Amino acid sequence: MKVREGRAVFLDRDGVLNRTFVRAGKPRPPSTLADFEYLPGVEAATRALADAGFALIVVTNQPDLATGVADGSTVSAMHARLLADLPITEIFVCPHTDADSCTCRKPKPGLLLAAAKRFSIDLESSFMVGDRWRDVGAGRAAGCRTILVGDGYGEEMPWTADHTVASLADAVPVILVT
C-alpha cells in the first residue's frame, strides 16, 4: 500500500469503527472484548481508503481509563485487534477526562497534531471522521476537513461538519472525490 504524500484519514474509534452502546442518551464504548464489534462495512471502507493511499490514524478519547471504568488491558486488546484486522497505521489515545485539561482530549487537536508530526501529515488535505461534536471540533481545530457519521446522538453541535454521512462506508466516496 502506497501512502499519498502526507494525506491521512483520522478515525474516531467508537461509533465509527465499532459499535457503541447508548445509555441515558450518551454513547458508551464497549466494556469487554466480546462486545467489541465492527460496524457494517468498516473492513471494506478502511481497505478502500488505505488502497487509495491514505494513512489511517485512529484518534480516540478513552476517559474510562482515567476513571477506572475501563481496564487498560481490555482497551489494549481492542486496539491490537484493530491493528491486526484493519489497515490502521497507528492508534493515538487520550486517557484523560475533561477535568484533566490536557491538550490531547478532543475537541482539542492534540492527538491529530501529534500524529501529523510523527507521520508528516498535511492536515489541510486530510480528513477527520467522527460520530460526535468533539471529533468535528478536533478536526476543525487541526485544519482538517470533517465528516460526521450519524446524527451526533442528538447532542448540541457547536461546530458544523463539512459533510454528514450515515456510516464510514458512506464517507469513502466523499473522501475519494476530494
153-170 residue pLDDT tens: 989 999 999 999 999 999
Does residue 2 belong to any structural domain of this protein? no
Does residue 161 belong to any structural domain of this protein? yes
Could you give the number of structural domains in the chain? Answer: 1
List the beta bridge partners of residue 58.
Answer: 11, 91
Q: Which residues contact 114 (CB under 8 A, 6 or more apart)?
A: 92, 104
Name the amino acid, one letter, at 110.
G
- CA separation, residue 154 to residues 71, 88, 157 (Å): 28, 29, 8
Q: What is the pTM of this model?
A: 0.95
Residues annotated catalytic, as ranges? 12, 14
Does residue 13 belong to any structural domain of this protein? yes
Does residue 3 belong to any structural domain of this protein? no
Q: From the first residue on, what is the mean pLDDT of each consecutive set of 10 residues in the chain (178 residues)?
A: 73 98 89 96 98 97 86 94 98 95 97 97 98 97 98 92 98 95
Does residue 163 belong to any structural domain of this protein? yes
Q: Are 132 and 105 in contact (CB under 8 A)?
A: no
Distance separating alpha carbons of residues 102 and 110, to the nearest angstrom: 9
Distance separating alpha carbons of residues 94 and 103, to the nearest angstrom: 9
3-state SS class at 46: helix
Which residue, among 125, 124, 147, 123, has the nearest Cα to 136 in the 3D structure? 147
9-38 residue pLDDT tens: 999 999 999 999 998 888 999 999 999 999
Structural domain containing residue 104 = 8-176
Does residue 43 belong to any structural domain of this protein? yes
CATH number at residue 78: 3.40.50.1000
Percentage of the chain beyond pLDDT 90 is 87
Does residue 89 belong to any structural domain of this protein? yes
Distance separating alpha carbons of residues 65 and 176, to the nearest angstrom: 35
pLDDT at 2: 45
Q: Which helix (H) or strand (E) holds 141?
A: helix 133-142
Q: Are 134 and 176 in contact (CB under 8 A)?
A: no
Average pLDDT, the chain: 94
Does residue 108 belong to any structural domain of this protein? yes
Q: Which residues contact 37 (CB under 8 A, 6 or more apart)?
A: 18, 19, 30
pLDDT at 4: 52
Tell me whether residue 26 is exposed, middle or buried, using C-beta atoms within 10 angstroms of its C-beta: 0 to 12, 13 to 18, 19 or more.
Answer: exposed
What order do you get walking across the sheet with 127-130 strand by strand? 90-94, 55-61, 8-11, 127-130, 145-149, 163-165
